[in-house]
Amino acid sequence: MLRLFLAVLAALLLATGGLRAEPVGQILDTNRALIQKSSRLTIGPVIDALATSGDDRAEAVLQAWGDKHLGIRKSDGAFVLITRKGGDYVLTAPDGKAAGTAKRSDIDALRPNAGVRRLIDGALVQFQLNAPKRATRAAALDIIDRHPEAGQLKPLEASIPGEFDPGLRSRKERMLRLLTIRFGDDGAARIKAIESFGADTGLDLRGALNPLLDTKRVVTRAGETPPGNVARQLIPGKGIGDAAAYDLLVKAGDAPARLTPVARKQALEANIEGGKVGGVPVPDLSDPEARDRAYSALEQAGKVPQAATAAEVAAAVAAHAYWDVYAEPSKEVTDAARAALSKIALKVDGMEAFDLLLEALSLASIYFLAAIGLALTFGVMGVINMAHGEFIMMGAYTGYVVQQWIPNYTVSLLVALPLAFAVTFAAGVAMERLVVRHLYKRPLETLLATFGVSIALQQIAKNIFGTQARPLTSPAWLDGAWVLNDVVSISYIRIAIFVLGLVFLLLFLFVMNRTRLGLELRAVTQNPAMAASMGINPDRINMLAFGLGSGIAGIAGIALGLFAKVTSELGQDYIVQSFMTVVVGGVGNIFGTLAGAALIGTLQKGIEWLNPSNTLAAQTYMILFIILFIQVRPRGIIALKGRAAGD
C-alpha cells in the first residue's frame, strides 16, 4: 500500500507541477461559455485544466461530466453533479458538498458529444492508472491502447513503480515504450524503445512505427534542398507525374491553375474584336501556339484570369524540385523505425508462409477425410461411385437430426458420429446389393447408375429437409481458434478435423494390417480369383468394403457439416476433389490418398495465395496441373498393384 500511495503522490505531483491546487469549481465558472457549447476543437484546454488542477475533486467532476451527470442549476447558474432519484435530482457541488435536490426541469444537464467524451476519457487516464481496483487500471490501459496521446506518457511512466499486478505492470511497460516511440522528447530514448522490441510482430508496435514513416510532399526551387528529414527526391515523369507535380505547385501558390482547352476556347470566343483575339487573327487560331499567344495577350490586358498554358506548365515543372519529407524530424528515429519494420516484415513473411502451410494441411485433412471412403470402394471394387458425396450429405443430416433430439452439443456429437456411420453403412450396403453388384466390370453403366442414385438422394433430402441450409452446431470447446500471434491462427474445428483424419488413418491401417477383414480385403484387392479359391467370398468382401467406405463418408459429413451449412448439395462440393485426391494419390492405397490430399490441398492454397481474388481461376489451374500430372504418373503418386491398378 505504501508503494501505491507513493505512486499516486508522484503522479499527482507530476501532473500538477507541485502542491498548488486550483478549485475545479472556479475552473468551471471561468470557462462556462465553452462548457455549455462544448466541442472537441475548443474544449481541450478546459479538460486539461481540470485534470491538472491538483484538486482532489477533479476526477469526480470529469467522470460526472463524461457520464452526463454534470449540470447547471437554472436558478443561480451553479455547476452541480446530478444523480437521479425518482423524478428529481440529488445535487452535489463540485467541491463534494451536498447541494440539496431539484426538479429535473430546474437543471440544464450537460450532454457532451462523442468527441468531447473521448477527451474526457483521455484526461481520466492519469487518475485511473493508479486506481485501487485492477479492473479500473486495466480499463485505463484499454483507453490508451485505443487512443494513444502524448499527454498519457508521463502519467503512465509515474504509475509503473507502484503497479503490483505482474500482468498489468508488463502491459504498462510495453505501452510506455510504445508511447515513447511516438511522443517521446529524447531521440535516443525513442531509438532505444524501438530497438527493445526486436522483430516483435504486434499490431500495436506496427501502429506506433508506421506513423514515423509518414511523408508529405513539398516543392522547392530547382537546386534547393527542403528543410526537414528528406525521405526521397521525386523526378517528374518517374517518381511523380508531370500533372501531379504541377498540382503541387498550384497548391503551394507557386503557379497559376492549369489552362484547360475548354476554358481557353470559351475565353477566346468571348474576346473576339475586329476579327482578332489578343492581336491574333481568328483564322490563325487553328494553330495551338497561336491560341496560347492570344490567351497570354488577354492575360496581360487583364481580360481573362491568370492560367498556365502547356508550355508554361512544362517550364514551371522543370524549374522546381519535388520531395517526400518525413513528418518525423529526426533522421535517426526514422532510420531505426525503417530498420525495425524491415525485420518485422521479414518475420511476418515467414509467419504468413507458415500460416499458409497450416491452411494447406487443414484443407488436405478435409479432402483426405472426404476421400478415404472413396479410396476404399474405388480401390477394392473399381467402382466409380458418383453418389459418394451424398453419403457425406447423409452423415451431415444425421448429425443435424441428432441435435434436434439432444440439445447438448458435445453429447449429440458423440452420439451422431457412430450413428452417422451406421446409417451410411446401411445405405451403402443397400446400394451395393441393389445396384452396384449387378454392374461389376461395367464402369460406364456403374457411373451412370450411381449418378442417378446421387440425384435421387439429393431430391429425397430436399423433400425431407427442404432447400434451406440447416446448422450443425459445434460444441463450445470447438469455438474460436488457436492463435499463435497476429498472423498465424487456425480454427479449433479444423484442428479437430485434422485429428479425426489422423484417427481414421490409424484405424484404417489397423483394420487392413491387424484384422481378418483387412487380410481378406487386401487379398481380394490383389487377386480376387486366388482369394476365392482360398475360401474368401469376394461378393461379401465387396459388400463390406462398399458399406465401410460409405460409413466413413458419413462420419466425414459430420466433420464437414461443423463448419459448412448442411444442404442437399453439401456432398457435391467435395466429390470432385475426392476423386482427384484418390486418382492423384494412387487408386486403392491409403498412403497414396494421404499424399494426394496433401498435394491438392497445398496446391490449391498456393494458387489461391497467388491469385486471391479469383478462387474459380485457382480451381481451374489446379485441374490443369492435375491433368498434366496424370500424364506423367498415370497411376498416381503411390501406385497399387492388383485389380485397382488394372491388373
Rg (CA), the chain: 38
> Is the CA virtual torsion 109, 113, 114, 120 positive or negative?
negative
d(CA 367, CA 553): 11
Q: In what helix (H) or strand (E) does residue 421 lie, and over which residues does it extend?
A: helix 409-434
- Are 301 and 361 contained in the same domain? no
pLDDT greater than 80 at residue 635: no
Question: Does any domain span residue 205?
Answer: no
Specify whether 525 is located in the same domain as 400.
yes
Residues contacting residue 29 through CB under 8 Å, at least 6 positions apart: 79
Asked, for residue 174, whether it belongs to a domain, the answer is yes
What is the per-residue pLDDT across 391-439, written as a single tens digit (0 to 9) for each?
999 999 999 999 999 989 889 999 999 999 999 999 999 998 898 888 8
Evaluate whether residue 367 is within a structural domain.
Answer: yes
**The residue type at 249:** L
Residue 204 in domain: no
How far apart are alpha carbons 643 and 647 in whole angstroms?
Answer: 5
- Quote the CA–CA distance of 50 and 48 in Å, as a whole number: 5
Any domain includes 178: yes
The model's pLDDT over 187-202, given as tens digits with 9 standing for 90+, comes to 899 999 999 988 788 8
E strands along 500-570, which residues?
none
User: Rounded to an integer, what distance in angstroms lies between the CA atom of residue 226 and that of residue 378?
Assistant: 74
Residue 99 domain-assigned (yes or no):
yes
pLDDT, tens digit, for every residue of 203-220? 888 889 999 999 998 888
Q: Do the Cβ atoms of 117 and 62 come closer than 8 Å?
A: no
pLDDT of 20 above 70 = no
Q: Among residues of the chain, what percentage have pLDDT more than 90?
A: 16
* pLDDT for 383: 78
Claim to verify: residue 611 and residue 468 sit in the same structural domain: yes
Which residues 6+ apart lie within 8 Å of 539 measured at CB?
437
pLDDT value at residue 9: 43
Domain match, 522 and 391 both: yes
Distance CA 235, CA 255 (A): 18
> Which of the listed residues 137, 172, 187 is the one where a domain comes to its end?
187
Query: For residues 612, 616, 620 and 626, what is the CA-based torsion angle, rounded to 10 degrees?
Result: 70
Cα 616 from Cα 90, distance rounded (Å)? 66
Q: How confident is the model at residue 613 (pLDDT cuts 50, 70, 90)?
A: low
The neighbouring-strand residues paired with 258 are: 308
**Which residues constitute the domain of residue 360?**
349-645
When comparing pLDDT for 596 and 309, which is higher?
A: 596
219 shares its domain with 179: no
Coil, strand, or helix at residue 85? strand
What percent of the chain has pLDDT above 70? 94
End-to-end CA distance of the chain: 85
Q: Which of 568, 560, 392, 555 is nearest to 472 (CA)?
A: 560
What is the pLDDT, as a whole number, of residue 303?
79
pLDDT score, position 642: 46
Give the total number of structural domains in the chain: 3
C-alpha cell at 327: 513528418
- pLDDT value, residue 380: 61
**Three-state secondary structure of 183-240:** HCCCHHHHHHHHHHCCCCCCHHHHHHHHHHHCEEEEEEECCCCCCCEEEEEECECCCE
pTM of this structure: 0.65
pLDDT the model gives residue 8: 45
Distances (CA, A) of 414 to 390, 481, 567: 22, 21, 22
Spatial CB neighbours of 472, under 8 Å, sequence gap ≥ 6:
396, 399, 400, 403, 558, 561, 562, 566
Residue 418: count of CB within 10 angstroms of its CB? 12
Q: Which residues contact 285 (CB under 8 A, 6 or more apart)?
A: 268, 277, 291, 294
Residue 615, domain CATH: 1.10.3470
- For residues 121 and 154, membership in a common domain is answered with yes
Domain contains 334? no
Please, are residues 269 and 369 in contact by the beta-carbon 8 Å criterion? no
pLDDT of residue 440 exceeding 80, the answer is no
Cα angle, residue 536 at apex, residues 534 and 542 outer, rounded to 5°: 145
Q: Which domain-ending residue is among 326, 357, 380? A: 326
List helix spans (H) across 224-330. 242-252, 261-269, 288-300, 310-318
Range with the poorest average pLDDT among 107-111, 367-371, 617-621, 625-629: 617-621
Among 187, 205, 233, give the residue marking a domain's end.
187
289 and 362 part of one domain: no
Do 227 and 266 share a structural domain? Answer: yes
* Together in a domain, 572 and 625: yes
Cβ atoms of 210 and 349 closer than 8 Å: no
Q: Does 106 lie in the same domain as 57?
A: yes
User: Is residue 201, in this structure, part of any structural domain at all?
Assistant: no
pLDDT in tens, 92-143: 888 888 888 888 888 888 888 888 888 888 788 878 888 888 988 898 888 8
Q: Is 458 exposed, middle or buried (0-12, 13-18, 19+ CB in 10 A)?
A: buried
